Homo-oligomer: A and B are copies of this chain.
Amino acid sequence: MNLETIARLSGVSRSTVSRVINDSPNVRAEVRERVIKVLQETNFQPNLAARGLAAGKTKILGLVVPQGFSQIFIDPYFPLLIQGVSSACNAHEYALMLWLEEPKSAQRMIRQILHSGMIDGVIITSSHRSDPVTQALLARSFPFVVVGRVAEDLPASYVDIDNVSSARRAVEHLLGLGRRRIVTIAGPLNMVAAVDRLQGYYAALSAARIEPPPEWVDYGDYTQEGGFEAMQRLLACQPDAVFASSDAMAVGAARALQAAGITVGREVALIGFDDVPFASHMQPPLTTIRQPIEALGQFAAEMLIRQLRGDRTSTPAHQLLATELIVRQSCGAYSSL
Interface set of A (CB-CB < 8 Å, partner B): 1, 43-50, 52-53, 58, 60, 70, 73-74, 76, 78-80, 82-83, 86-87, 90, 93, 95-100, 102, 105, 107-108, 111-112, 114-118, 277-278, 281, 283
A95 and B96 within 8 A (CB): no
Most buried by B among A73, A87, A97, A283: A73
A277 and B100 within 8 A (CB): no
Partner of A82, one of B87, B100, B112, B116: B100
Q: Chain B residue with minimal CB distance to A94?
A: B112
> In the complex, given contacts A48-B118, A49-B53, A95-B116, what are 4 additional A-B residue pairs having Cβ atoms less than 8 angstroms apart?
A43-B111, A49-B50, A49-B52, A76-B76
User: Which residues of the other chain, B, contact A283 by a CB distance below 8 angstroms?
Assistant: 283
A100 and B83 within 8 A (CB): yes
User: Which residues of the other chain, B, contact A1 by a CB distance below 8 angstroms?
Assistant: 115
B96 and A98 within 8 A (CB): yes
B43 and A47 within 8 A (CB): no
B74 and A102 within 8 A (CB): no
A1 to B97, CA, bound (A): 23
User: Which residues of the other chain, B, contact A52 by a CB distance below 8 angstroms?
Assistant: 49, 52
A118 and B95 within 8 A (CB): yes
Partner of A116, one of B47, B74, B80, B98: B47
B86 and A99 within 8 A (CB): yes
A103 to chain B, nearest CB (A): 10
User: Which residues of the other chain, B, contact A115 by a CB distance below 8 angstroms?
Assistant: 1, 44-45, 47
A217 to B80, CA, bound (A): 35
A86 to chain B, nearest CB (A): 4
Most buried by B among A48, A49, A107: A49
A82 to B69, CA, bound (A): 13
